[in-house]
Amino acid sequence: MNKPADQSAFETPKVTTGPLPASRKVYTHPPQAPDLAVPHREIDLHPSAGEPPVPVYDTSGPYTDPSVTIHVEQGLARDRRDWVLERGNVEEYEGRDVKPEDNGGAEGKYLARQFPVRHKPLRRKPAAPAAVECSSSPCSMDMDPTWDHGQDLLTQYEYARAGIVTKEMIYVATRENLGRAAAHEDAAATIADGQSFGAHIPEYITPEFVRDEIAAGRAIIPANINHAELEPQIIGRNFLVKINANIGNSAVTSSVEEEVDKMVWAIRWGADNVMDLSTGRNIHNTREWIIRNSPVPIGTVPIYQALEKVNGVAEDLTWEIFRDTLIEQAEQGVDYFTIHAGVRLAYIHLTANRVTGIVSRGGSIMAKWMLAHHKESFLYTHFEEICDIMRTYDVSFSLGDGLRPGATADANDAAQFAELETLGELTKIAWAKGCQVMIEGPGHVPMHKIKINMDKQLRECGEAPFYTLGPLTTDIAPGYDHITSGIGAAMIGWFGTAMLCYVTPKEHLGLPDRDDVKVGVITYKLAAHAADLAKGHPTAHLRDDAVSRARFDFRWEDQFNLSLDPETARDFHDQTLPKDAHKVAHFCSMCGPKFCSMKITAEVREYAAGMSDNEKADMEKQAAAARAGMAEKSKEFMDKGGEIYLSESGEKREAID
Amino acid sequence: MNKPADQSAFETPKVTTGPLPASRKVYTHPPQAPDLAVPHREIDLHPSAGEPPVPVYDTSGPYTDPSVTIHVEQGLARDRRDWVLERGNVEEYEGRDVKPEDNGGAEGKYLARQFPVRHKPLRRKPAAPAAVECSSSPCSMDMDPTWDHGQDLLTQYEYARAGIVTKEMIYVATRENLGRAAAHEDAAATIADGQSFGAHIPEYITPEFVRDEIAAGRAIIPANINHAELEPQIIGRNFLVKINANIGNSAVTSSVEEEVDKMVWAIRWGADNVMDLSTGRNIHNTREWIIRNSPVPIGTVPIYQALEKVNGVAEDLTWEIFRDTLIEQAEQGVDYFTIHAGVRLAYIHLTANRVTGIVSRGGSIMAKWMLAHHKESFLYTHFEEICDIMRTYDVSFSLGDGLRPGATADANDAAQFAELETLGELTKIAWAKGCQVMIEGPGHVPMHKIKINMDKQLRECGEAPFYTLGPLTTDIAPGYDHITSGIGAAMIGWFGTAMLCYVTPKEHLGLPDRDDVKVGVITYKLAAHAADLAKGHPTAHLRDDAVSRARFDFRWEDQFNLSLDPETARDFHDQTLPKDAHKVAHFCSMCGPKFCSMKITAEVREYAAGMSDNEKADMEKQAAAARAGMAEKSKEFMDKGGEIYLSESGEKREAID
């Protein structure tokens, strides 16, 4: 156990609370489970709009609900524990003792304060030996003949495969609908036009649809049974595109307080989930504070902590240390683990001629281990045992891309794709074990190579959700890699990626501070939304259209409030036109008060409304006649000159394709 | 004439000069015209790299050349005047007097200082009547039978059609090659992989290739004969993608000094050209200062100034006032005019049901005029006279998209495409008149509708260069519209757009300041570069690869210096690791000194280098065997369970497409 520390020696984490401007938290109680309270946010518009409030997806948890008092030392309410307990098949137990190495041996004033409350963990009950042979024929899941018969269900995947809808499934279905009723009377909420590349997004999400998607492996609900504070969320390409924010202290800088604050800050601006990538000391305690206060799924890369336990010497890692770390983190409630089990000994030399070699920390840790021992990775050889641990707590896999390209020059190479193929194999093993799985993807990829990644991932990994970092579409803009990668993220999200891992402006240069986290989150939120729009998500356009109408009507406050970042929008406006009067003035700073295109458009509308059908037809006739004259002239030109131009070599220049 | 003003009453514009870090200006003297000095920038690397300097395209003009002394009151050197004069066919003349209304009637202390030097303008010599009938058969250009016979050539298009290579063509060809020799010995400078969507980018640009592209209408060199300070540049989809920065004072804010400084600032960071979108007073004098100090092409929207001349009352506009404005600006040396001649009376009512109507200022000015007079636009009815004026000075057309969508909801609608079709007709008229033409494009377009725009533009406008604003891919992120639009810009640049008009973070909210201009330029520079990479531009990847190698080698200074914004990259790094020692340390702030993936990769290389072919083969055999075992297991799973899963309705879930 960590030494007791004087509580007063530590700062109580301060986090940002309170609603966003003009916003109310609204809870829906789904008919299938009226005890659930599923949040979304409604943005109220100015009465002059004559429009209902605009519903938006809300990741911010109780922090933006003024009726909830936040006590960071107590953590959030643990409602979800009941959902898990009432399903049965779990047992409470003492759990693993915290060891000094869990916090990197930090002592005294260097040891971060323990979270004040200790909750006993839950785990899957050891399965009773099957009393009778499986009688269904063919047995649909005989690699583990118990769980699909309802005796030993625990993971969301297991329940889905067994045809059972969980509360988590009801919750995420309701959440995706943003409070819309099943009858979806809202005429605007129809399938929008879009190009979905094979995604099948229904007009209305039912719990049964969620179950089917999870059972097919196409979606996951990262939801460790020990993360009782969770507001569940679904990740899959037939749902809204999600984004992830990375936080975490490092050996060089930052504290527990900063990391808890960063988590709350990231979800305030729209991070759907958060990865704690802490390194250095105090990893265990930092994580406990984060999870107990997090309404969103928390992911980790357990090998990072395992490495700290062997003082950063990769070759000293063992399966036992790694295994113990998995249990430590699973008991705390981590919702998904990045496991770099696809980095195999045989692939290492494929990276030797790369411009930037292996850039994944996890990938290079394992490469170093394998080289030192000249043995296959223990993540690969012990993969089934890893599955057994993860299914004990319903920790989802995020199969790591340890060989992702770290430069556009290395994109889509043999090493990257060899690993992806292995991840496909591992996906099927994990499914057979009853685990939920998503797949991590690159990285640095020029635009013309992005779709190949998506298509190959879907094919190799049986449509398991893809979770990509960017990708960055060029390497030449350090300081702007949220943008180089936002381009790639929007595109791959459109093509089918289910979750986008954000990149901040500090990427490649330093650790993100609060401002960087916000810029990263907003950038990825807009990229994910652009993807939803392009896929034809039925309700994605409602918010765009509301902003556009506000813009057209000079409802400045509405435009700010509807935007992803109302503070920045308002601030930018005020830099040019600070007076309050300008927030209602029917002009803006770009064109000034004398002339305004939007004002003129209002006149156009009046005019068009006054036109008879005859007048319209007449007008089109006139236009056609004038155009015919022009067309004749241009034809003459093209006949005489335009088409006969030859290049010097005498070849006719090629026309467009 | 404007009243004389006391010079001391005005601030001398201060502009940023001096080279970028580790950068030298290098001038190439092309063998075809050794008197030309064509600039590019070379970035020196640390000696430990063992690499030659990295050449990059340089838009910054003499401001970054320490050997040039800048006198903003004198303007830049006017070398190009000789190129124009030596070709003949031009005459110097007195030019139009500056009228009070040219500066919006500003007087006294409100009148911006006149540029201290006055240059007499040049114009096309009136053509001698053709002495003989055209004898070539078929006459390739009989709509204007003089110019294609070498008697009356003036525009770059006319010279190109006549098969003549101008100094401007030699200049831009040399410039595009970044100082590479014709023999292109550099092995790296081979055609990169990419997807070009029908663009044909050669390995090496020759002046003849430039001429052919201009003659085909596929590229333009915006180069008014009165912009003698110009360093010419080519815009076309078979060349590097260019970007534009908009500046300009408005009725609400900003001064001459700020605008000159913004221009110099914008080109320092990579703006290939600049549009002066000034409104309000002092338009004439502001523009004169800008052009006399601009090495990049300057574009304007003449209807903005014309509107000021009638006190902002659109219906008071006349063809005569507009015509006079064209001549005023052409004499000053504006290189291209946005002309919204495609906004026709018959199209106006098509915008009535739009979410945001007409958002183009030019488009709505003309709509208002047409409605007031119930007449076809004078830009359309006088289009040939406009051509005659523009060909007198070689002002290029930028055919404006006055009906572009101002919201994603309005993208690709009937109004937008009706106008685009008309722009196609007008393109051919302008070519027949000997003018250079590019086409402006939207606007706000969700991702799945972007390529349709590009394809239609190429088809309708005979492959004339496309010049698009963004497009913005979602409307929900005011304050971040450089990013919402940077996504669309990178994509449409890849698909074939020749020039991207930047969007700053202030878009929709206020006027950009210096910082916003920089962020807009860098964002668009990276988008254009991402497009070049994806198109397979033969040398685009060289800079990416140099950055990646620097990153891998921990050459922090090189990484900063090679980036688009060295100042920001360095600043971000120093926020976490400020010590100078960290700039050479072989680790970075993300992982700390104990563990580093790049360090491990270096070990992987040593390892791979030591492997024999037998060892490699052996390793692959082992891997294959292990994988086969995994594959069998997963097959077993899929056979038994994975494939038999049915959705509730009994249908087999569709596989990926």
- Region of A612 please: left (phi>0), alpha (psi -120 to 50) or beta: beta
Rounded Cα distance, A553 and A584, in Å: 10
B485 within 8 A of B503, measured Cβ to Cβ: yes
Contact at CB, B494 and A448, closer than 8 angstroms: yes
Nearest by CB to B600, from A364, A429, A544: name it.
Answer: A364
Which residues of A are less than 8 Å from B361 in CB distance?
591, 595, 597
- Give the three-state DSSP class for B439: strand
pLDDT above 90 (res A4): no
Residue at A643 is within a domain: no
Total tally of structural domains belonging to chain A: 1
pLDDT of residue B609: 83
Choose, out of A137, A460, A476, A563, the residue to mutate when testing the contact with B (most B CBs < 10 Å).
Answer: A476
Residue whose C-alpha is closest to residue A166's, from A128, A216, A221 = A221
More confident residue, B151 or A576: A576
Going by DSSP bridges, is the β-strand pair A466-469/A499-501 parallel, antiparallel, or unpaired? parallel
C-alpha Rg value of chain A to the nearest Å = 28
Contact at CB, A544 and B475, closer than 8 angstroms: yes
pLDDT of residue A642: 41
Phi, psi of B501 (to 5 degrees): -85, 125
Q: Which domain does A67 fall in, by range?
A: 23-94+164-535
Residue at B5 is within a domain: no
More confident residue, B589 or B203: B203
pLDDT above 50 (res A388): yes
Contact at CB, A547 and B494, closer than 8 angstroms: no
pLDDT of residue A83: 97
Give per-residue pLDDT as tens, B464-521.
Answer: 999 999 999 999 999 999 999 999 999 999 999 999 999 999 999 988 999 999 999 9
Q: 10 Å Cβ neighbour count for A636?
A: 15
Question: The whole model's pTM is what?
Answer: 0.91
Instruction: Give the residue-averaged pLDDT of A51-77.
Output: 97
pLDDT of residue B298: 98
Contact at CB, A642 and B609, closer than 8 angstroms: no
pLDDT of residue B654: 32
Residue whose C-alpha is closest to residue A168's, from A127, A219, A118, A123 = A219
Q: List CB contacts of B223: < 8 A, sequence separation 6 or more.
A: B80, B156, B168, B230, B232, B297, B335, B394, B396
Going by DSSP bridges, is the β-strand pair A23-28/A38-43 parallel, antiparallel, or unpaired? antiparallel
Residue at B639 is within a domain: no
Give per-residue pLDDT as tens, A114-171.
Answer: 999 999 999 999 875 544 343 333 334 333 444 444 468 999 999 999 999 999 999 9
Contact at CB, A474 and B604, closer than 8 angstroms: no
pLDDT above 80 (res A182): no
Nearest by CB to B644, from A140, A253, A356: name it.
Answer: A140
Reported in sequence order, the residue ranges of B291-441 that DSSP labels E, i.e. its strands, are 298-300, 336-339, 396-399, 437-441
Rounded Cα distance, B83 and A40, in Å: 66
A652 pLDDT band, cuts 50/70/90, is: very low
pLDDT of residue B14: 86
Going by DSSP bridges, is the β-strand pair A235-236/A219-220 parallel, antiparallel, or unpaired? antiparallel
Contact at CB, B619 and A346, closer than 8 angstroms: yes
Which CATH number is B407's domain given? 3.20.20.540
Residue whose C-alpha is closest to residue B373's, from B309, B308, B316 = B316
Give per-residue pLDDT as tens, A395-432.
Answer: 999 999 999 999 999 999 999 999 999 999 999 999 99
Lowest mean pLDDT among A220-224, A641-645, B89-93, B448-452: A641-645
Q: According to the annotation, is B404 in a ligand binding site?
A: yes
More confident residue, B642 or B194: B194
What residue has token string 């639009």? B485
State whether residue A310 sits within 8 Å of chain B by CB: no
Choose, out of B303, B447, B476, B533, the residue to mutate when testing the contact with A (most A CBs < 10 Å).
Answer: B476
Give per-residue pLDDT as tens, B629-651.
Answer: 655 655 555 555 443 233 333 33
pLDDT of residue B429: 97
Rounded Cα distance, A553 and A635, in Å: 43
Rounded Cα distance, A347 and B154, in Å: 62
A190 within 8 A of A72, measured Cβ to Cβ: no
State whether residue A248 sits within 8 Å of chain B by CB: no
Q: What is the DSSP letter of B652?
A: B
A477 within 8 A of B543, measured Cβ to Cβ: no
Residue at B343 is within a domain: yes
Residue whose C-alpha is closest to residue A437's, from A379, A394, A373 = A394
Residue at A13 is within a domain: no
Q: According to the annotation, is B591 in a ligand binding site?
A: yes
Q: Estimate to the nearest angstrom the gap between the alpha carbon of A551 and the chain centroid.
A: 29
Give per-residue pLDDT as tens, A341-362.
Answer: 999 999 999 999 999 999 999 9
Which residues of A are less than 8 Å from B648 in CB distance?
208, 212
Q: Estimate to the nearest angstrom the gap between the alpha carbon of A523 and the chain centroid.
A: 12
Comparing alpha-carbon positions, the chain B residue that sits nearest to A479 is B569
Residue at B586 is within a domain: no
* Helix A514-535 / helix A256-268 crossing angle, nearest 10 deg: 30
State whether residue B584 sits within 8 Å of chain A by CB: no
pLDDT of residue A644: 29
pLDDT of residue B622: 66
Lowest mean pLDDT among A262-276, A578-592, B332-346: A578-592
User: Is cis: bond before B302, omega within 30 of 0?
Assistant: no
Residue at B150 is within a domain: no
Instruction: Give the residue-averaged pLDDT of A386-392.
Output: 98
* Helix A167-176 / helix A207-215 crossing angle, nearest 10 deg: 110
pLDDT of residue B133: 41
User: One-letter amino acid identity for B319?
Assistant: W
How high is the ipTM of this complex? 0.91
State whether residue A349 sits within 8 Å of chain B by CB: yes
A42: distance to nearest CA of chain B, Å? 15
Lowest mean pLDDT among B143-147, B150-154, B413-417, B424-428: B143-147
* SS3 labels along A431-480: HHCCCCEEEEECCECCHHHHHHHHHHHHHHCCCCCEEEECCECCCCCCCC
Q: List CB contacts of B612: < 8 A, sequence separation 6 or more.
A: none
B494 within 8 A of A448, measured Cβ to Cβ: yes
Interface of B with A in 149-168 (CB under 8 A): 161, 163
| A309's tokens | 């336990």
- Rounded mean pLDDT of chain A? 87
Instruction: Give the residue-averaged pLDDT of A5-25.
Output: 78
Nearest by CB to A253, from B161, B491, B576: name it.
Answer: B576
More confident residue, A6 or A293: A293
Which residues of A are less than 8 Å from B214 in CB distance?
none
What residue has token string 């803009």? A477
Residue whose C-alpha is closest to residue B139's, from B164, B162, B155 = B162
Residue at B558 is within a domain: no
Instruction: Give the residue-averaged pLDDT of B595-616.
Output: 76
* Helix A383-393 / helix A414-432 crossing angle, nearest 10 deg: 50
B552 within 8 A of A480, measured Cβ to Cβ: no
State whether residue B387 sits within 8 Å of chain A by CB: no
Which residues of A are less than 8 Å from B545 in CB distance?
355, 407, 409, 475
| B154's tokens | 């003036």
Nearest by CB to A490, from B371, B463, B487: name it.
Answer: B487
Rounded Cα distance, A219 and B583, in Å: 44
Contact at CB, A473 and B534, closer than 8 angstroms: yes
pLDDT above 80 (res A310): yes
Going by DSSP bridges, is the β-strand pair B499-501/B242-247 parallel, antiparallel, or unpaired? parallel
A77 within 8 A of A61, measured Cβ to Cβ: no
Helices then strands, each counted (H, E), chain A: 21, 15
Rounded Cα distance, A603 and B352, in Å: 9
Q: Estimate to the nearest angstrom the gap between the alpha carbon of B448 and the chain centroid.
A: 23
Contact at CB, B608 and A352, closer than 8 angstroms: yes
User: One-letter amino acid identity for A360?
Assistant: S
Give per-residue pLDDT as tens, B385-433.
Answer: 999 999 999 999 999 999 999 999 999 999 999 999 999 999 999 999 9
State whether residue A364 sits within 8 Å of chain B by CB: yes
Q: Which residues pair with B437 in a beta bridge?
A: B397
B145 pLDDT band, cuts 50/70/90, is: very low
State whether residue B377 sits within 8 Å of chain A by CB: no
Interface of B with A in 617-646 (CB under 8 A): 619-620, 622-623, 626-627, 630-631, 633-634, 636-638, 640-642, 644-645
Nearest by CB to A408, from B141, B474, B541: name it.
Answer: B541
State whether residue B190 sits within 8 Å of chain A by CB: no
Contact at CB, A352 and B462, closer than 8 angstroms: no
Q: Which residues pair with A275 in a beta bridge?
A: A246, A299
B408: distance to nearest CA of chain A, Å? 7
Q: Estimate to the nearest angstrom the gap between the alpha carbon of B516 and the chain centroid.
A: 17
Q: List CB contacts of B183: < 8 A, sequence separation 6 or more.
A: none
State whether residue B605 sits within 8 Å of chain A by CB: yes
Contact at CB, B526 and A462, closer than 8 angstroms: no
Q: What is the DSSP string of B194-220?
A: ---TT----SS--HHHHHHHHHTTSEE
